[in-house]
Chain A
Amino acid sequence: MIALQKVGVSFGTGATRIDAVRDVSFVVDAGESFGLVGESGSGKSTVLRAIAGLIAHARGDIALAGKPVGRRRSKADRKLVQMVFQDPYGSLHPEHTVDQILVDPIAIHRLGDAGRRVARALAEVGLGPEHRFRYPHQLSGGQRQRVAIARALILEPRILLLDEPTSALDVSVQAEILNLLTRLRREHGLTMLMVSHDLAVIAHLCERIAVMSHGAIVEQTTAERLATSTVDHPYTQELLRSNKGFRREEGEGLCPSTPAKADPLQSIT
Chain B
Amino acid sequence: MSDTLLTVRDLRVVYPGEQEAFVALRGVGFTLGRERLGIVGESGSGKSTAGRAIMGLLPRSARIEASELRLGTTDLLRLDERGFRRLRGKRVAMVLQDPRYALNPMMTVGRQIAETHRTHLRSTAAAARKAALAMLEAVRLHDPARVYDLYPHEVSGGMGQRAMIAMMLIADPEILIADEPTSALDATVQLQVLAILDELVRRRGMGLILISHNLHLVSGFCDRVLVMYAGRVVETCVASRLAEARHPYTRGLLASLPELGHRRPELPQLQRDPAWLADTAFP
| A interface list, Cβ under 8 A from B | 11, 16, 18, 37-41, 45, 86-90, 130, 133, 138-143, 146, 163-164, 167-176, 178-179, 182, 197-201, 203-204, 223, 226-228, 238-239, 242-243, 245-248, 253-254, 256-265, 267-269
A142, A173, A197 — which one has the most chain B CB atoms within 10 A of its CB? Answer: A197
- Tell me the smallest distance from the CB of B187 to a CB of chain A, in Å: 4
**Residues in A whose Cβ lies below 8 Å from that of B194:** 246, 254, 256
Q: Which stretch (B4-12, B26-34, B129-137) binds chain A?
A: B129-137
8 A/B residue pairs, CB under 8 Å, sorted by A: A41-B156, A141-B97, A164-B157, A167-B183, A197-B190, A245-B217, A246-B221, A267-B134
A sample of 14 more A-B contacts (CB under 8 A), given A40-B157, A86-B157, A90-B153, is A41-B159, A130-B22, A164-B184, A168-B180, A178-B267, A182-B266, A197-B184, A203-B263, A226-B260, A227-B260, A243-B187, A248-B221, A254-B195, A265-B196
State in angstroms the CA–CA spacing of A176 and B187 once bound together.
24
**Residues in B whose Cβ lies below 8 Å from that of A138:** 15
Count contacts between A and B, CB distance < 8 Å: 212
State in angstroms the CA–CA spacing of A264 and B155 once bound together.
22
State in angstroms the CA–CA spacing of A243 and B269 once bound together.
24
Asked if residues B159 and A261 are in contact (CB atoms below 8 Å), the reply is no
Asked if residues A201 and B213 are in contact (CB atoms below 8 Å), the reply is no
**Residues in A whose Cβ lies below 8 Å from that of B146:** 16, 18
When A and B form their complex, which 8 residue pairs have the shortest distance between CB atoms, in order from nearest? Answer: A40-B158, A142-B43, A227-B261, A242-B187, A264-B138, A246-B220, A175-B267, A175-B256
Asked if residues B269 and A40 are in contact (CB atoms below 8 Å), the reply is no
Bitwise interface map of B from 169 to 200 toward A, beta carbon under 8 Å scored 1, else 0: 11010000001100111111111101110111
| Given contacts A182-B265, A253-B198, A260-B195, A172 and B256 within 8 Å (CB-CB) | yes
A138, A201, A248, A269 — which one has the most chain B CB atoms within 10 A of its CB? Answer: A248
Asked if residues B100 and A90 are in contact (CB atoms below 8 Å), the reply is yes
Asked if residues A88 and B138 are in contact (CB atoms below 8 Å), the reply is no
State in angstroms the CA–CA spacing of A199 and B261 once bound together.
10
State in angstroms the CA–CA spacing of A268 and B105 once bound together.
26
- Tell me the smallest distance from the CB of B68 to a CB of chain A, in Å: 25
**Residues in B whose Cβ lies below 8 Å from that of A254:** 191, 194-195, 198, 221
State in angstroms the CA–CA spacing of A45 and B184 once bound together.
11
Asked if residues B199 and A40 are in contact (CB atoms below 8 Å), the reply is no
- Tell me the smallest distance from the CB of A146 to a CB of chain B, in Å: 8
**Residues in B whose Cβ lies below 8 Å from that of A174:** 213, 256
Asked if residues B43 and A143 are in contact (CB atoms below 8 Å), the reply is yes
- Is residue B44 within 8 Å, beta carbon to beta carbon, of the partner chain? yes
- Is residue B86 within 8 Å, beta carbon to beta carbon, of the partner chain? no
State in angstroms the CA–CA spacing of A223 and B100 once bound together.
31
Q: Who on chain B is nearest to A244 by CB?
A: B187
Q: Who on chain A is nearest to B213 by CB?
A: A170
A38, A173, A262, A265 — which one has the most chain B CB atoms within 10 A of its CB? Answer: A265
Asked if residues B137 and A264 are in contact (CB atoms below 8 Å), the reply is yes
Q: Who on chain B is nearest to A134 by CB?
A: B17
State in angstroms the CA–CA spacing of A163 and B157 once bound together.
10
**Residues in B whose Cβ lies below 8 Å from that of A173:** 42-43
State in angstroms the CA–CA spacing of A164 and B185 once bound together.
11
**Residues in A whose Cβ lies below 8 Å from that of B277:** none
Asked if residues B188 and A238 are in contact (CB atoms below 8 Å), the reply is yes
Asked if residues A178 and B258 are in contact (CB atoms below 8 Å), the reply is yes
**Residues in B whose Cβ lies below 8 Å from that of A198:** 214, 258
State in angstroms the CA–CA spacing of A88 and B262 once bound together.
30
- Tell me the smallest distance from the CB of B241 to a CB of chain A, in Å: 13
Asked if residues A164 and B270 are in contact (CB atoms below 8 Å), the reply is no
- Tell me the smallest distance from the CB of A255 to a CB of chain B, in Å: 8
State in angstroms the CA–CA spacing of A19 and B278 once bound together.
55
State in angstroms the CA–CA spacing of A20 and B131 once bound together.
27
